[in-house]
Structure 1
Amino acid sequence: MYQSCAVFQTLLLTLCLGFSLKTGQCLKQKYFVKSSVCEIPYINPFAADTMKDFQKRTYRECHNDSDLVTSEFDFKLNQYRLHLHKNLARRMLNGSMGNATLECKYQKISRDRINEKPDNSYSEFKSRPLPDYLLVPKHTDFMITKCYVKDQKKQLKLLQTDGLTFIEEHLQQEDQKKAYAQQQRQNPKPSVLMLGLDSTSRMNLRRAMPLVYKYVSQPGWFELQGYNKVGDNTFPNLLAVLSGHSPNTLAKMCNVSKIGCLDRVPFIWKRFKRSNYTTAFAEDCKGINTFNYLLPGFQVQPVDYYLRPFLVAIESKFPVTKNFGFPFCVGRRLSFDYVWDFGRQFVDRFVKNRNIFGFLWSNSFTHDYYTATTALEQLFLKHLHSFEASGLFEHSIVILMSDHGHRYNTLRQSASGYYEERLPMMFIYVPPWFRQQYPHLVDNLRRNRNRLSSSYDLHMTLQHLLQLESTSLADFSMKHRSVACPSCQSLLFELPVNRACQQAGIDEKWCCCHATKTLKKNGFVRTLALAVVRRMNDHLVKRNFSHICHNFTLTHVHKIVRRLEQPADDNSLEEDETVYILQFWTFPNQPRFEATVRWNHRKHKLHMDVEDLSRLNSYNGDSNCINDKIAKKYCICKDSIRTIKRTPKGTTKPTTPRKIVEQYGYFSGLK
């Protein structure tokens, strides 16, 4: 009997957590956030519609041979040393080449200081012989090694190539140690390390990486369950965290597509650097790096230790194996591992003798496939334990985060997909000494776990860590406040209980606070959907895209919901205006869209921003003809039309607009 009751309660809770949540229908409804102006419902990570397509992925090794060249840091000499393991080469050859000998060479790699866009290039130096033991020349950041087998005829055969990174000393070590020790005695400040996995909601972390979730549930960790994204994709969300800007406020400063603009942005690592922190930034998958995808990147190296030149070099020089949509193996190693090994080197070298700020970000596993995270769990857990062994958690504030949840395909189209996309994971670790010295700040962080927060609040938290004597937002100068959200504040200050999205810098499009009601498809829905598609076509003309992007034809309305109440803090809604969220498919190529729109029932007037459309399935292959970051999600290039229809016998043939209408039993005209 008790088991039956438990099953019934679970089913009831699952039903109440669908996309069309209604206020007051679930008596025992759980919430991530619950206040008079914001209710974000608890989402069950293991709901049936989410788990039906969920499967664990297998982790694949990139190589099965041993490292012929390894490096270690000699703390006495304050220099890296390379070791050449000839004995391992003999085992690898297994006597197959008789009296063959091993010859290795190394080649220094550095940032290209001449190229107009140095982020897209690298400098390589003359190849030199590698002896059995080599003290790495100082001021060497990166290196590529190649080991050859030389047979009796003196012919060389490449046996192994590898890439190595070095965290070299840029400052006088003893002076730095003394300054650090004095500061920690007088006014201690924590080091800060930010660890990011792209496209990972807090629900998917629990679902796909339960052991990692268990790790970040230990004492000292705080999960921000009301953390809501502020933009569509990676760039606006990380821009908010790292600079306090939105794309709109940044546009008033400079054109981000122009060379030099990103160098002018007040990234938080600049303030950490001015406060005598040593800084680092590493990100995998060079093609989609946050500040390089359809952007020119940085002209001036942004931080002290920057992985980008090495990443560009190895993806150009090494064999690249793709898996889960992006570079998986780059040479002998995981693309993912280059980032975290670089981060561990950085922590190993400095965390015990100076303040550090590091930002480590990975795209390779998690960007396109939400189940791929399962293959990553043991490896990522290993890196967390490695950071722990290095003393990171004794000295540092550690932030495990994402930019947003999964935005496409299966998970996004589940009942909880709306929330999955908008609620990225956010965990903050506070070391014991900080908890002891600043208990009031930690108490505030604890209270904020279930209050609405945003990327701009995280930015203000980073600002706060550099002026811990502050007692309120009023103590921050205007240059240290978020430009895009002046009312946003540090998570180490208590956030208002009744906080609305507008106060947190979250646009209505991304706000998870308001209950909705699913509507039946009727004549009004048809009118609204046609108006949306007409606006999309008008937008193509307005942006001068109509010559390369195909016009849209509506084929199907999947779902429409109405916001049950107007946000109390939003004065932009007109009288008789209602907010609707519409999911619909169009022709050609059957893209799936979600639009948050306003409809004035008295004036029969639509208010929407086409640039804010969400794409619910991947646009890979649809928009290669265009380089506009935002337009890529909705442009269907005329040279990429590939829509097909399956016949009853399983064959395929092109589908015309008329047959699309017949197939869906819906409408296509825009008149």
Structure 2
Amino acid sequence: MPWPISTPSPPLILTLEIHKIQSLGVCLLPKLMGLLCFTEQPTDHYYRYFTLAIEQYYYNLTSFCLGSKPRHTIFLEYMKELFYIYPKKRKWFFLFHSEMSHRDNNFLSQMDEDLYEHLKGLHSEKQLDQAILIFLADHGARFSTVRATAQGKQEERLPYFGIRFVSHFMAAPGRSHTFAIILELCFVFHIFFNAVFVFRFPEWFHQKYPNIVENVKTNSQRLVTPFDVHETLHEILHFTGTEKANISKRGVSLFKLIPDERNCDWAHIDPHWCACMEWTKIGLDDPILKRVTKKIISTFNNFTKPFRKECAILEIINVTSAVMLKVKDAVLRFRDTSDGGRGRFGKMDDKTEHSKILYQVVLTTKPGDGVFEVTVTHQLKENKLEVNKKDISRTNKYGNASHCVVNKEPFLRPYCYCKDVMKT
């Protein structure tokens, strides 16, 4: 999606900060996935050049350090310095950090005290008096042991999003207007869908913008997506009001009231990523499961078939769990309310039948012990099983096992176990 700050008026001083493992960076990883990245330096200040220059020395240093300093403090200080350099300019700070949490969320605790002191300092110096400060994540742990739990499934699909208004964010002529975003990204470049967020407003903001405060408070209990965040960023630059949101659009501003009837379908969230669904467990000895898993493994092997000289044929070791999703029978039977839509009791005599059933399966493959979570669609009318590549999640690391196709076909990294690795 386009950057909301592409054509701001009046002009902003922009900065994009990236402090992470560059081999998994915001530009390299999209490139490996066949997506586009920046063709030119996208901002006035671009931290990536610095990290590229120093990363070659990381392996000779204490973990997460550059000399005697924690690397994340250098990252934070860089942002703080820009407040001093442009005290009267409108600014957009975009800070992207994942180094400490990419492999293990527990490392994040090492950053707590420094981040607290950094924000406390900005606050005491009144650097945030004309700012909107946002914390967000793209998703939770995808590769840790937590991911194998029910809570882990929610973690991947429900990233954190928090925003704090600390002063007048509607820019006045001649006044500083800062929009600061700090992202602590547990992992990088993964589409996230259902956002969990909290807002904190000072007392003056409640008095000046009560409608925004009330809408945001209500929306914290509604279904929201990253596309809504994108629209909210536009809204900050070009405020259009606080009326009820039009949820027929893919993204709506969080300053507008999101109706409670919004669901994953209306928000364009695929079933694989929807955290609002009710799933029913199916037995591992259920005949349909054998057919579903056969479809899954054949799909994986069809992906790698053009590279059969390099990639081993995968087999299923075991199935960990299997659940089924279908539209509730009550929903299908519902035809109308008994009083033309004005009452609580409905006519449950509709004859609509199920058109499809979704199966979500967690399984392990060999060689390589790859763990996958796959959503399979069963089209009942045609009695046909379908697997879409966007409905597949590899939930454990594959490291160097797919090195033989990384440059040829990056998409195959989760599925290809290189034959030469088997020999070593």
TM-score when normalising by structure 1: 0.50
**Counterparts of 1:305 and 1:346 in 2: how far apart (Å)?**
9
Runs of 4+ in 1 over 6 A off after TM superposition: none
1:505 and 2:286 aligned = no
1:329 and 2:110 aligned = no
Residue in structure 2 matched with residue 631 of structure 1 by the alignment: 412
Question: Given that residues 297 and 315 in structure 2 are in contact (C-alpha distance below 8 angstroms), is that contact kept between their aligned partners in structure 1?
Answer: yes
Residue in structure 2 matched with residue 607 of structure 1 by the alignment: 386
Question: Given that residues 454 and 505 in structure 1 are in contact (C-alpha distance below 8 angstroms), is that contact kept between their aligned partners in structure 2?
Answer: no
Q: Show the 5 A alignment for 1:116-265.
A: 245=1
Letter of the 1:314 counterpart? I
What 5-or-longer segments of structure 1 have no aligned partner? 1-244, 246-265, 476-481, 569-573, 643-653, 655-671
**Residue in structure 2 matching 1:442, options 209, 213, 223:** 213
1:538 and 2:278 aligned = no
Question: Given that residues 245 and 256 in structure 2 are in contact (C-alpha distance below 8 angstroms), is that contact kept between their aligned partners in structure 1?
Answer: no
Residue in structure 2 matched with residue 549 of structure 1 by the alignment: 311
Residue in structure 1 matched with residue 140 of structure 2 by the alignment: 405
* Change beyond 3 A, Cα 1:611–1:322: farther
**Counterparts of 2:6 and 2:394 in 1: how far apart (Å)?**
34
Residue in structure 2 matched with residue 429 of structure 1 by the alignment: 164
The alignment covers a number of residue pairs equal to 360
**Residue in structure 1 matching 2:27, options 276, 280, 291:** 291
**Counterparts of 1:368 and 1:455 in 2: how far apart (Å)?**
24
1:358-411: CA deviations, max 9, x gaps? 100111111110222222222222222233234243211111000111111311
Residue in structure 2 matched with residue 363 of structure 1 by the alignment: 98
1:315 and 2:62 aligned = no
**Counterparts of 2:256 and 2:112 in 1: how far apart (Å)?**
33
* Change beyond 3 A, Cα 1:607–1:329: same
Letter of the 2:291 counterpart? T
Residue in structure 2 matched with residue 622 of structure 1 by the alignment: 401
* Change beyond 3 A, Cα 1:335–1:548: farther
Using the TM superposition, give the Cα deviation of residue 521 of structure 1 relative to its aligned residue in structure 2, in angstroms. 0.9
Question: Given that residues 279 and 323 in structure 2 are in contact (C-alpha distance below 8 angstroms), is that contact kept between their aligned partners in structure 1?
Answer: yes
Question: Given that residues 539 and 610 in structure 1 are in contact (C-alpha distance below 8 angstroms), is that contact kept between their aligned partners in structure 2?
Answer: no
Using the TM superposition, give the Cα deviation of residue 442 of structure 1 relative to its aligned residue in structure 2, in angstroms. 2.1
Q: Show the 5 A alignment for 1:444-593.
A: 444-470=215-241, 486-522=249-285, 523-541=287-305, 544-565=306-327, 575-593=354-372
Question: Given that residues 283 and 361 in structure 1 are in contact (C-alpha distance below 8 angstroms), is that contact kept between their aligned partners in structure 2?
Answer: yes
Q: Show the 5 A alignment for 1:373-388.
A: 373-388=108-123
**Counterparts of 2:370 and 2:381 in 1: how far apart (Å)?**
31
**Counterparts of 1:331 and 1:549 in 2: how far apart (Å)?**
42
What 5-or-longer segments of structure 2 have no aligned partner? 170-204, 332-352
**Residue in structure 1 matching 2:84, options 337, 345, 348:** 348
Give the % identical residues. Answer: 25
Using the TM superposition, give the Cα deviation of residue 319 of structure 1 relative to its aligned residue in structure 2, in angstroms. 5.7
1:306 and 2:46 aligned = yes
1:504-533: CA deviations, max 9, x gaps? 232221110111111111122122111211
Question: Given that residues 556 and 585 in structure 1 are in contact (C-alpha distance below 8 angstroms), is that contact kept between their aligned partners in structure 2?
Answer: yes
**Counterparts of 2:39 and 2:135 in 1: how far apart (Å)?**
28
**Counterparts of 1:584 and 1:420 in 2: how far apart (Å)?**
19
Question: Given that residues 279 and 325 in structure 2 are in contact (C-alpha distance below 8 angstroms), is that contact kept between their aligned partners in structure 1?
Answer: yes
1:416-436: CA deviations, max 9, x gaps? 111011111100111243524
**RMSD (Å), alpha carbons:** 2.9
Question: Given that residues 294 and 629 in structure 1 are in contact (C-alpha distance below 8 angstroms), is that contact kept between their aligned partners in structure 2?
Answer: no
Question: Given that residues 320 and 331 in structure 1 are in contact (C-alpha distance below 8 angstroms), is that contact kept between their aligned partners in structure 2?
Answer: no
* Change beyond 3 A, Cα 1:559–1:322: farther
1:159-211: CA deviations, max 9, x gaps? xxxxxxxxxxxxxxxxxxxxxxxxxxxxxxxxxxxxxxxxxxxxxxxxxxxxx
Question: Given that residues 244 and 257 in structure 2 are in contact (C-alpha distance below 8 angstroms), is that contact kept between their aligned partners in structure 1?
Answer: no
Using the TM superposition, give the Cα deviation of residue 629 of structure 1 relative to its aligned residue in structure 2, in angstroms. 4.5
1:372 and 2:372 aligned = no
* Change beyond 3 A, Cα 1:509–1:566: farther
Using the TM superposition, give the Cα deviation of residue 566 of structure 1 relative to its aligned residue in structure 2, in angstroms. 6.3
**Counterparts of 2:263 and 2:134 in 1: how far apart (Å)?**
24
**Counterparts of 1:442 and 1:501 in 2: how far apart (Å)?**
25
Residue in structure 2 matched with residue 647 of structure 1 by the alignment: none
Using the TM superposition, give the Cα deviation of residue 503 of structure 1 relative to its aligned residue in structure 2, in angstroms. 2.4
Residue in structure 1 matched with residue 173 of structure 2 by the alignment: none
Question: Given that residues 320 and 329 in structure 1 are in contact (C-alpha distance below 8 angstroms), is that contact kept between their aligned partners in structure 2?
Answer: no
Question: Given that residues 516 and 563 in structure 1 are in contact (C-alpha distance below 8 angstroms), is that contact kept between their aligned partners in structure 2?
Answer: yes
**Counterparts of 2:254 and 2:127 in 1: how far apart (Å)?**
21
Higher Cα Rg, which structure: 1
Question: Given that residues 398 and 428 in structure 1 are in contact (C-alpha distance below 8 angstroms), is that contact kept between their aligned partners in structure 2?
Answer: yes
Q: Matched residue of 1:419: which SS?
A: helix
Q: Show the 5 A alignment for 1:84-99.
A: none
Using the TM superposition, give the Cα deviation of residue 456 of structure 1 relative to its aligned residue in structure 2, in angstroms. 0.4
**Counterparts of 2:244 and 2:85 in 1: how far apart (Å)?**
35
1:246-289: CA deviations, max 9, x gaps? xxxxxxxxxxxxxxxxxxxx3223234x5321111111122222
Question: Given that residues 354 and 380 in structure 2 are in contact (C-alpha distance below 8 angstroms), is that contact kept between their aligned partners in structure 1?
Answer: no
Q: Matched residue of 2:413: which SS?
A: helix
Using the TM superposition, give the Cα deviation of residue 575 of structure 1 relative to its aligned residue in structure 2, in angstroms. 4.5
Residue in structure 1 matched with residue 128 of structure 2 by the alignment: 393
User: Higher relative contact order by CA 8 Å / sep ≥ 6: 1 or 2?
Assistant: 1
* Change beyond 3 A, Cα 1:438–1:629: farther
Q: Matched residue of 1:373: which SS?
A: helix
Q: Matched residue of 2:237: which SS?
A: coil
Letter of the 2:78 counterpart? F
Residue in structure 2 matched with residue 180 of structure 1 by the alignment: none
**Counterparts of 1:566 and 1:508 in 2: how far apart (Å)?**
15
1:44-77: CA deviations, max 9, x gaps? xxxxxxxxxxxxxxxxxxxxxxxxxxxxxxxxxx
